Structure 1
Amino acid sequence: MKSVRTAGAGGVETVDVERPAPGPEDVLVGVRACGICGTDVTFLHMGGMPARGHLGGELVPVPLGHEPAGEIVEVGSAVTALKPGDRVVVNPQAASTGIIGCGGRYGGMSEYLLVEKAESGRSLAVFPDTVPFDVAALNEPMAVSRHAVNRSGAGPDDKVVVFGAGPIGLGVAIWLKLRGVKHVVVADVIASRLEKALAVGADAVLDSATEDVTARLTELHGEAANALGQPRAGTDIYIDAAGAPAVFEAVVANAKWHAKLVMVAVQKKGEIDLGGMLRSELTLIASQGYPTEIFEVTPELAEHHERFAQLISHRVPFEEADRAFELARTPGAAEKVIVTFEG
């Protein structure tokens, strides 16, 4: 079968590898779609991963792809709850041979993917045939978004701003609105992203490159105060899906008393204004991965699949995988790239 892996700094290659055979507890999935995300791009920049136990800096290729969706084509002799033809999404972190597409033995950007110790609700989940495979491939990143929302504790009466209108930020906005959150603002510096935010249900958008963030948030969420009585925007929860130091600065400058900041983006280095946090008693919450959310999201992703489909900017056939990764690694060229496979 063919599989995509890193090929030196900045490169990918499609190689022929042996098609895995399922053991008694495994299933073999014919991959039909697989998303590309920032983690894949990081591996591209690295050119691979250090070989285990090697101290000389030697890099080995990484099989790529941790956002696969596909169809079961073979089941092991001990597997009874799953069958060929089931359409499934995969938990990349459940593989016993290492995280799928992130340094493990297998990558989801392959014609076939072995799911070890296949168990519905743990290593994979079945989704209905009403959901296109390309949308089902959003399951993993939407679990990341859902965890951020869960960590925020946002409720119906909260006023929330999401910084960063990439796939994770837009996913956060969708989950917030599906949860019934009163008012959700999405901030970004790219006009097309802000248009997409409104299309998926944000109540308002903010161009943080051209607008006064404080004035706009005060206009939208009313005026409140910090612990010292200084005027602040009435925003209850800030969610950082951008990772830029300017976002943290904007939050501290606007945070009212007992506001919360949830960090879901990979953070770039910058100074932290601890004094500003103190003046607002700002709660800082980190959100990493999806401890429980990987299949929590699957039924709602299926129910609202047309809404989530709007997050996909490019669908590229597997035969052009190199072009798909070039799109993903070029700033501003694409939002969410999904590689599709023939059934």
Structure 2
Amino acid sequence: MRAVTVHQGVLEVADLPLPEPGRGQVRLKVTRAGICGSDLHARLHADAAADIAAEVGYDDFMRRDQRVVLGHEFTGTVDAYGPGCHRRWEVGQPLVALPLIRSDGDVHMTGLSRHAPGGYAEYVLVAEDTAMPVPDGLDPDLAALTEPLAVARHAVNRGEVAKRDVAVVVGCGPIGLAVVLMLKAAGVRRVIASDYSARRRDLARACGADVVVDPATTSPWDALAAEKGVVTSVTKLYGDGLDALHALRRVPRLPWWSVVKGAQRLGVGPRSPVVFECVGVPGVIDDIVTHAPFLARVVVVGVCMEPDSFRPTMAVNKELDLRFSFCYDPAEFRETLHLVADGTVDPRPLVTDVVGLDGVAAAFDTLAAADQHAKILIDPQIQEGP
């Protein structure tokens, strides 16, 4: 079969043996695969990522000197079953699957390990138990977005965002745009999106952002400060508290402490906006900690591959919650697939190009050097050679 491999940072199309499904595995004929920001990082920073993965207990993350087939976002049709399968679906049934598979008894990350070749290929192996049928009629372009959208759904869940909360999305690349989509799908009424790229700001609007700003000219924090109940000054925070206490203490025999606790349970008081960091470059977390309002929840979704720092004292003074988000659980993955299938989430604005296997290397260069694209998909059936 034809596949795109990466070795020492170089992407090239190669002819590889057709993968044979092992016990409990299904071979899919790939219809679409997505190029993820993690793939861009892995191409150039595989060793750094592998070192971190080893520290958390996974020793087989890809390294630069290994030849690996990337691709953990994909959809395909059932082509063959391995032994021990339940054969839940007919040959030709479209599926998506979690990008995790057992090989020689160990669990591996599909598309990010030499033990688990990914979806930048004509065929890919998946575990039958992690596969899910694509609902009838769903375009493979959209089915292939299940994985990155599930990352965004998990991030929104990590932020515990309520409909009345104000959300700020910093960075409108593919994951930032996916977060906007999932926030609106959750019914969040006010979503502020920020990006330097005019093209990505347009995509953020198409994904449902209510306020879109260019941080070169307008601060997203000014837009957030204009929202009712958002506190940006310690004197305002303490002053409002003292004023409320003064009013309560004027009522004789009123158990003011019970009133305060009851108001807190009802959500009365300063609003707690939720900020999603979707950039992943040094300095962004510190900028958010410096400028975010008091009591904000900050969810870090962007993957920064370099050491970074921020001022803990600033975060302490503002009582910020700093949370980090990674991946999703199987239920979130399935929920995401069906949100797309029933039209609750329309991720079509994310797809800005589709290329064949021969166009993958150029697509990587385009994504690394320009801001005109969001998600580039791969269709292995496209022939782009001479």
Q: Shorter-normalised TM-score: what interval?
A: 0.7 to 0.9
**Bigger Rg over Cα:** 2
Amino acid across the alignment from 2:126: V
Amino acid corresponding to residue 2 of structure 2 in structure 1: K
Question: 1:39: how far off?
Answer: 1.7
Q: Is the 8 A contact 1:6 1:43 kept in 2?
A: no
For 1:154 and 1:291, locate their aligned partners in 2 and report how far apart those are by CA, in whole Å: 18
Partner of 2:338: 299
| Post-superposition offset of 1:80 | 3.1
Counterpart residue number, 2:349: 310
Overall identity of the aligned pairs, in %: 30
In structure 2, the partner of 1:105 is: 116
Deviation at 1:144, TM superposition (A): 0.8
Deviation, 1:20, is 1.7
Q: Does 1:69 align with 2:75?
A: yes
2:161 corresponds to which of 154, 163, 170: 154
Residue 323 of structure 1 aligns with an amino acid whose one-letter code is A
Q: 1:115 aligns with which of 113, 126, 142?
A: 126
Cα distance between partner residues in 2 of 1:8 and 1:164: 29
Q: Find the aligned partners of 2:139 and 2:316 in 1 and give their Cα distance.
A: 47
Any conservation in 2 of the 1:37–1:328 contact (CA below 8 Å)?
Answer: no
Q: Tell me how large the CA RMSD over aligned residues is.
A: 2.8
User: Structure 1 regions of 5+ residues with no counterpart?
Assistant: none
Does 2:143 match 1:132?
no
Separation of aligned partners in 2, 1:99 and 1:37:
14
The one-letter code sitting in structure 2 at the alignment partner of 1:5 is T
> How many residues align structurally?
335
The equivalences for 1:248-267 within 5 A come to: 248-267=285-304
**Aligned partner letter, 2:34:** G
Q: Report if the CA contact (8 A) 2:173-2:374 is conserved.
A: yes
* Structure 1 residue 223, shift from structure 2 partner: 4.5
1:33-48 equivalence runs, <5 A: 33-46=32-45
Q: Describe the superposition over 1:121-166 as per-residue Cα deviations: whole angstroms up to 9, x where unpaired.
A: xx11111232111211111111111110000000111011010101
TM normalised by structure 2 equals 0.79
Cα deviation, residue 228, structure 1: 5.2
Q: State whether residues 141 and 168 of structure 1, in contact with CA within 8 Å, keep that contact through their aligned partners in structure 2.
A: yes
Kept after mapping to 1: 8 A contact 2:221/2:292: no
Does the alignment pair 1:244 with 2:244? no
1:299 CA displacement: 0.4
Paired amino acid for 1:76: G
| Whole-Å separation in 2 of the counterparts to 1:332 and 1:225 | 32
> Which digits, 9 at most, give the CA deviation of each residue in 1:50-104, with x for residues without a partner?
8x999xx981111111111111112235323222121111211244462111013
State the TM-score, normalizing by the size of structure 1: 0.88
Q: 1:223 and 1:247 mapped to 2: Cα distance?
A: 21
Q: Which residue of 1 aligns with 2:26?
A: 27
Q: Deviations over 1:205-251 (max 9, x none)?
A: 121122134323223456424555469x9661111111234432342
Taking a change above 3 Å as real, the CA distance of residues 254 and 43 of structure 1, as seen in their structure-2 partners, is: closer
